[in-house]
């Protein structure tokens, strides 16, 4: 008889409300999968660009951490001036995104090993858990208004913030998988 494959999603331990805990558990599952899929990436693989102006796997990993901290600060924490550097040690623009045409990876990420990016992602998730710890499920309906530099006002509720973090993470995870595949195909040794 073949083994049983279990797919069980459990809420994180701690004082996180059940509805919010479901979002955090989904983010944790995406992180677990991303971690498995990025093992063995070298510094050169993390910095590889298919062409100038395109993102690298390292840029995308840093971007995931930056965006997660940013949304927790503008959403649940309602900070007027978010500061991702205090949580991550790198700034909001240090991922080099968006890339200018013909752009190269940012200096802030040059030569960084996979452990650096793992640490960024772990710090971002710890920040999320701290920010979410004081919320109730009723807070998911709380609306936050932000005025953009353009003068446009954006209104979103915390439920959307957690949803957006999850869909953002999954989208860029897919890009990382594609870049990993392209890097392997481009750098594969020819068969004889």
pLDDT tens, residue order, the chain (192 aa): 889 988 888 877 777 899 999 999 999 999 999 999 999 999 999 999 999 999 999 999 999 999 999 999 999 999 988 999 999 999 999 999 999 999 999 999 999 999 999 999 999 999 999 999 989 999 999 999 999 889 999 999 999 999 999 999 999 999 999 999 999 999 877 666
In sign, the C-alpha dihedral spanning 160, 161, 165, 166 is negative
Q: Are strands 143-147 and 153-157 parallel, antiparallel or unpaired?
A: antiparallel
Q: Rounded to an integer, what distance in angstroms lies between the CA atom of residue 83 and that of residue 122?
A: 17
Q: What is the pTM for the complete model shown? A: 0.93
Domains in the chain, start-ordered, CATH in brackets? 28-186 (1.20.120.450)
Burial degree of 29 (CB within 10 A; 0-12, 13-18, 19+): middle
Nearest Cα to Cα of residue 172 among 76, 58, 28: 58
């Amino acid at each position: 008889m073949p083994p049983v494959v279990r797919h069980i999603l459990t809420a994180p331990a701690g004082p996180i409300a059940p509805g919010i805990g479901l979002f955090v558990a989904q983010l944790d599952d995406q992180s677990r999968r991303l971690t498995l899929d990025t093992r063995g990436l070298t510094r050169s693989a993390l910095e590889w660009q298919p062409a100038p102006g395109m993102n690298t796997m390292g840029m995308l990993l840093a971007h995931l951490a930056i965006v997660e901290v940013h949304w927790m600060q503008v959403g649940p924490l309602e900070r007027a001036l978010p500061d991702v550097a205090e949580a991550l040690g790198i700034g909001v623009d240090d991922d080099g995104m968006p890339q200018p045409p013909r752009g190269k990876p940012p200096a802030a990420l040059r030569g960084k090993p996979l452990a650096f990016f793992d640490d960024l992602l772990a710090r971002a998730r710890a920040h999320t858990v701290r920010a979410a710890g004081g919320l109730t499920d009723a807070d998911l309906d709380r609306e936050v208004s932000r005025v953009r530099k353009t003068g446009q006002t954006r209104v979103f509720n915390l439920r959307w913030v957690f949803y957006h973090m999850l869909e953002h993470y999954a989208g860029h995870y897919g890009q990382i998988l594609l870049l990993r595949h392209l890097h392997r195909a481009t750098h594969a040794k020819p068969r004889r």
